[in-house]
Amino acid sequence: MAAACSARECGLEVVVLDDQTTPGGQLFRHIESPLAQTKIDSKEYQQGLELINSFRGSGAWYYPKTIVWGIESHQVSCTVDGTPTIFQSLSIIIAPGAMERPVPFPGWTIPGVLGAGGAEIILRGNGTVTRNAEDPVVLAGNGPLLLLLANHLLDSGAKIAAWLDTGSWSKRIRSLPRMFSALGDFPYLSKGMGMALKIVKNKIPIVSGIKNIEAVGEEHIKAVLYEAKGKKHEIKSSCLIRHEGIIPRIHIPNALEVELQWDQEQRYWYPITNQFGATSKDGIYLIGDAGHVDGGDASQLKGYLAGVDVARYLGIISLGEAAYRSKKVLQELKAIQRARSFLRYIFAPNPNIFQIPDKTIVCRCEMVTAEEIRKAVKEGATNVNEVKLYTRCGMGPCQGRMCGPALAEITAGELSRSPSSVGTLQVRHPFRPVSLENYCKLHSAE
């Protein structure tokens, strides 16, 4: 939305394709609905509404309910509300956002086991995440989103039985000197401290040094098992919310063979871009959290910068004008990235979470277990694509979105190497499911 606004201000024709029904992305999802005002922090609500109003008034062509499933040679293939369509453009700005890091564990597919993002959506819609409002919830994992969710759960009156903290305390202690950089964004830091304090005040039991989390149940989760300090424990619960941080959605850049870089702290791949989001591919930009997870404010600034730079790239505005329009925003973006860099370290994922038991299903589309991945490595596979060929892990309809990170970690673990050395799954068009009928309609129209 921010990119569309700045590109329009520079005089460009802009088309925005989004699979949601209304503008807002992840952060400002359904913010125009009357319910949102009561459910969202008032500052965030105002900020979101302002952006959406600017976007709606910008004159950009907006196509909601549109699934983009192919991008090649400056041509975008998509399904607009069920109808297959192709758009052509000299420049494409891609902003598919981020997703929760999927971490397989025994029982992760049982109903009642949720991610923090899904839990937040259910909470906003229903006011509770459990079938019976009295049932206690178990939180497990590590990351700012879990802290935010815990606060929202407390606000809604939910009972939290325990917070099973999977973070690494040695990493956290080592990150403390970086906290000074966070003082550059004091309101943000104090908001985080306030949320942590609320957890303490509500006497939520926090258990550290957690290993071997397991959800138990058949039709629905009944209990959570875990190990701490060498002892096994059980909590009866009908809802387990597991969250291990957020990673960029790199399926589209992967399909386009955009160059990627490994973030060693956060253990994810992200596309290499310049400060305006331009990738190694001519006219292709990657922005927002899909470029690198820096949060909503930074995503908006990255969007503004990409919109201006596309206008420069297409020769609509001069280099001087682009520099003039970008200068202040670039400074703001750098200040936010500096202040928030602390989060990258304090909430770094603990590599232990990828010690996945052999019998656990890693690829849910093709039902491939951790044991089968390890066996493929023992038989000679040396990277994720070779393991994929041996096992079909990552070959199902989600094309590795859910299993790719764990596949890389398990493969690397077996080889005693860094996940950065085993590559990423090759992604082919269509990168989102499309019916054969719609695919053929586009093909025969060519």
Ligand X SMILES: Cc1cc2nc3c(=O)[nH]c(=O)nc-3n(C[C@H](O)[C@H](O)[C@H](O)COP(=O)(O)OP(=O)(O)OC[C@H]3O[C@@H](n4cnc5c(N)ncnc54)[C@H](O)[C@@H]3O)c2cc1C
Distance of CA 298 to the CA centre of its chain: 15
- CA-based max dimension of the chain: 66
| Nearest distance in Å: CB 291, ligand X | 8
Residue closer to ligand X, measured from CB, 374 or 432: 432
How far is the CA of 136 from the CAs of 164, 207, 266, 279, 307, in angstroms?
A: 14, 16, 30, 46, 46
Residue closer to ligand X, measured from CB, 67 or 103: 67
Residue closer to ligand X, measured from CB, 144 or 167: 144
Residues in the site for ligand X, rule: CB under 6 A?
17-20, 25-27, 66-68, 95-100, 117, 145, 148, 246, 288-290, 295-296, 299, 432
Q: Are 32 and 21 in contact (CB under 8 A)?
A: no
| Nearest distance in Å: CB 270, ligand X | 12
| Nearest distance in Å: CB 114, ligand X | 11
Say how far apart CA 198 and CA 203 lie, in whole Å: 9
| Nearest distance in Å: CB 100, ligand X | 5
171 Cβ contact partners less than 8 Å away, ≥ 6 residues apart: 345, 346, 348, 350
Q: Which two tokens stand for residue 367?
A: 């039902």
Residue by residue, DSSP assigns 89-152 as: -S-EEE---EEEPP---TTTTSTTEEEHHHHHHHHHHHS-SSSSTTSEEEEEE-SHHHHHHHHH
Residue closer to ligand X, measured from CB, 28 or 105: 28
| Nearest distance in Å: CB 95, ligand X | 5
| Nearest distance in Å: CB 3, ligand X | 9
Residue closer to ligand X, measured from CB, 145 or 308: 145
Buried b / exposed e across 341-362, counting CB within 10 Å, b at 16+?
A: bbbbbbbbbbeebbebeeebbb
Residue closer to ligand X, measured from CB, 283 or 296: 296
